Amino acid sequence: MSEQLEFVPVRTTHADVLLASAGERGVLCDFYDEDAADIYRDILHEDSWEAGEYTTRIRPASGPVLELGAGTGRLTFPLLSHGWEMTVLELSSAMRALFEGRLADAPTDQRDRCTVVAGDMSDFALGKRFGTVVISPGTINLLDTADRPGLYASVRDHLEPGGRFLLGVPDAVDAEPESLERSQEFAGASGRRYVLHARLVPAEEISEVTIYPADRSADPFVVCTSRVRGLTADQVVRELGQAGFDVVERAPLVFAGGRHQDVLLVATVRSDPS
């Protein structure tokens, strides 16, 4: 991933079937590509409760916050409105363009407190340190096993002494056992309906995700794909331990609707490396 600063769309089995029947109307793209931008904006909503869970764990006066894989700023903008100074690192140029468009419309004091950088969270060197590094739930699942040590090492190198790494991880402990394939229809903010199809590939410990408009006559018919690595919070806690972090808190990310499948890990760099 660190060699290139863009995504190559994954050809999921389901996308192949859809594109074959859409013919020339069909467009395949990564979920974080420019072609997917309208769909991404429509289906990812801002959650101020989630930013609240993060913000209560950022120590006052701990200095600037670094967010990795910030997307269009679903977590960043609420954090900016809590008053934090933010640097956001994002790999996708399409996501950065959407983010920067939003930032241009934000109040001046928020614009002045936010810096956007292009980069790969599994291998970055920004030449400065932060009091807090944050990652929203689901983002670490985009990194392969081989890339995650690079993430932990880069975060370690960018934390001030005593700094905190706040890492959201989807944790499926309470979920029903997943079937190999499932489809679910849902509405975006615009009312437009979409289908999310997920296919587990147990041998690779990933899910192939395909998202597309429920209206299959759409022109263009944009089919977005992504590969999501299956990870539990326990696994991430183990990996953080091996990378020299102590996990000092493990909190369910709970909101008024009662969902508690995401976990927020609070980690600090171990002073004794043993």
Q: Which residues bind ligand SAM (CB under 6 A)?
A: 1, 32, 44, 69-71, 74-75, 89-92, 95, 120-122, 136, 138-139, 142
Shortest Å distance, C-beta 74 to ligand SAM: 3
Measured from the CB atom, is 76 or 113 closer to ligand SAM?
76
Q: How far is the CB of 71 from ligand SAM (least distance, A)?
A: 3
Nearer to ligand SAM, 122 or 207 (CB): 122
- With respect to ligand SAM, which residue has the nearer C-beta, 22 or 231? 231
Q: Closest approach of Cβ 70 to ligand SAM, in Å?
A: 5
Q: Is the distance from CB of 73 to CB of 97 less than 8 angstroms? A: no
Taking the least distance from each CB to ligand SAM, the nearer of 32 and 130 is 32
Smallest gap, in angstroms, from Cβ of residue 274 to ligand SAM? 30
Please return the burial class of 162, using the count of CB atoms within 10 Å of its CB with bins 0-12, 13-18 and 19+: exposed
Closer residue to ligand SAM (CB): 143 or 195: 143
Rounded least distance, CB 260 to ligand SAM, Å? 17
Distance, CA of 207 to CA of 160 (rounded, Å): 35
The smaller minimum CB distance to ligand SAM, of residues 64 and 138, is found at 138
Min dist. Cβ of residue 238 to ligand SAM (A): 21
